[in-house]
Structure 1
Amino acid sequence: MRKTIVLIAASAYLVSASAQNDCDKSVYLTFDTGHMEVAPLIADVLKRQQVRVTFFAANERTKQGDGSLGEYWAPWWRARAAEGHEFASHTWSHTYWRADLGDVRHPAFRVRPSAGPREGQTFVLTAAQYCEEITRAADRLKTVTGKAPLPLFRAPGGKTSPQLLASAQACGYTHVGWSPTGFLGDELPSESASNDALLHKALRDVRGGDILLAHLGIWSRKDAWAPAVLEPLIVGLKARGFCFRTLREHPDYGGAKGQ
């Protein structure tokens, strides 16, 4: 009897894997860092549902430990790499672009990080210094995971300019935002955007090819989005015929080989 159960489970896994390989309705689930309290629960859901995602990481302030890319969370990142997830930079200090300065030959940017020793301060970075912000997070990811991150980055808040994108491209990084219907709403106030409403909206609106965005914890949200919405969302999208892929498999970013 035990052998029969094992064989049935193995067959179900192969059918699931085959369906994922044959799927032509792909979505690309991505997570940006956050306070990390729900990160272990998110990892449990992803493992249980056999879903691989792309993590964009910055060294943000966390509820436990020394920052999302600090030593406390390093084992968590290593475990995700072993499971086949992909990684990319979210800038080191979660540094928001505020305005372009300089000119095309000497670009610079007014920025404001939300983490690190200059959290909340507004100052200027040259294009080279902004690239260092991207690279520092990518290098740290490689150190803690042992896996080369993708040569991609996501600007905090998705805030960019053509000049910023060109400067990042010049130092080897392509920006990745998210689809309009891929904004899963975990940054919104719980009072005006309940988990039930966000789940319903995503199941209704997500389309094939969408890049989906969520976070590893949002400080301001009272009712945590994950894992409450995450697992029913994954199950619901699978039931609609969607499969989940990483950005390494995305048609626009599939040439990304890692740093």
Structure 2
Amino acid sequence: MALTIAVLAPATFASTCEKPVYLTLDTGHMGVAQYMADVLNRHQVKVTFFAANERTKEGDGSLGNHWAPWWKARAAEGHEFASHTWDHTYWRADLPGEPLRFRVRASAGPSEGVERTWTAAQYCEEIGKAAKRIEEVTGKKTLPLFRAPGGKTSPKFLAATRECGYAHVGWSRAGFLGDELPSETASNSQLLQRALRDIRKGDILLAHLGIWSRKDPWAPAVLEPLIVGLKAKGFCFATLRDHPDYAAWVARAR
């Protein structure tokens, strides 16, 4: 008797898996971007990319023309996309008075390192600029989500950005995969072992498409064994479109 194997569509697979995790990848210097894309494709893992126009090892920024074909290819593979702000602009503090204003500082672009004061509308415009560019280069609508650089926020900040249509996404404690940490104090083997030990069902995982400050790149040593190890423990990978905290928000925004 012939054996029939059913191939489930990604959304169906995510809904039937009992132990989903949600891998999210923020932009960076993009030096390991193609390697990471190859690993994800090889293991049929779909992720959510949070993109900003950051300085890169080659090309004109992570959302520039040089990297546009790379993003378009990821869209064709079925990944999801959301904003990480255009110039990787950090919320620094709420400011007193009305209207609501924030102190911000970008780590990319023409105002890199400069402290500025923005209204909520200006910060929302910064989120929207990255979202629009992602849609231009991928041909795919971005999720109505964003990640503040460094995960830095305040209740007033989150309320304001939600009011203009963007829900904020952080990461789980065990989901901090450590690729931003110094190699000297957090080796790749230590980070892999910790992740495989601590990650639990429903966790949002965070890594980057290249970190300038890390001596021993994380992705070539950790990404593939992490995926293989988590799958061996019964986990599956889904995008934030299917996350229970965001699915209804995403559906309403369509």
TM range (shorter): over 0.9
Please give the alpha-carbon distance, in whole angstroms, between the structure 1 residues aligned to 2:71 and 2:99. Answer: 36
Q: 2:195 aligns with which of 180, 190, 202?
A: 202
Paired residue secondary structure (1:115):
coil
TM-score (norm 2): 0.94
Structure 1 residues 25 and 125 mapped into 2: Cα distance closer, same or farther (>3 Å)?
same
The aligned counterpart of 1:176 is: 169
Gaps of 5+ in 2: none
Q: Give the C-alpha shift of residue 163 in structure 1.
A: 1.0
Structure 1 residues 39 and 24 mapped into 2: Cα distance closer, same or farther (>3 Å)?
same
Please give the alpha-carbon distance, in whole angstroms, between the structure 1 residues aligned to 2:243 and 2:153. Answer: 21
The aligned counterpart of 2:20 is: 26
The aligned counterpart of 1:80 is: 74
Q: Give the C-alpha shift of residue 23 in structure 1.
A: 1.3
Q: Give the C-alpha shift of residue 140 in structure 1.
A: 0.4
The aligned counterpart of 2:155 is: 162
The aligned counterpart of 1:151 is: 144
Answer with 13-22 or 94-103: which moved more. 13-22
TM-score (norm 1): 0.92
Q: Tell me the alpha carbon deviations over residues 88-126 of structure 1, each in whole angstroms, 9 at most, x when there is no partner.
A: 0000000011111133x5111101100000001111111
Letter in 1 for 2:68: A
Please give the alpha-carbon distance, in whole angstroms, between the structure 2 residues aligned to 1:49 and 1:96. Answer: 33
Letter in 2 for 1:72: H
Please give the alpha-carbon distance, in whole angstroms, between the structure 2 residues aligned to 1:48 and 1:183. Answer: 23
Letter in 2 for 1:24: E
Paired residue secondary structure (2:92):
strand
Paired residue secondary structure (1:88):
strand
Q: 2:61 aligns with which of 67, 74, 99?
A: 67
Q: 1:120 aligns with which of 113, 116, 126?
A: 113
Structure 1 residues 122 and 23 mapped into 2: Cα distance closer, same or farther (>3 Å)?
same
Letter in 1 for 2:192: L
Kept in 2: contact 1:45–1:227 (CA 8 A): no
Q: Give the C-alpha shift of residue 228 in structure 1.
A: 1.6
Paired residue secondary structure (1:182):
coil
Q: 1:223 aligns with which of 201, 208, 216?
A: 216
Structure 1 residues 162 and 28 mapped into 2: Cα distance closer, same or farther (>3 Å)?
same
Letter in 2 for 1:241: G
CA root-mean-square deviation: 1.9
Percent of residue pairs identical: 70
Kept in 1: contact 2:14–2:242 (CA 8 A): no
Please give the alpha-carbon distance, in whole angstroms, between the structure 2 residues aligned to 1:16 and 1:201. Answer: 31
Kept in 2: contact 1:183–1:214 (CA 8 A): yes
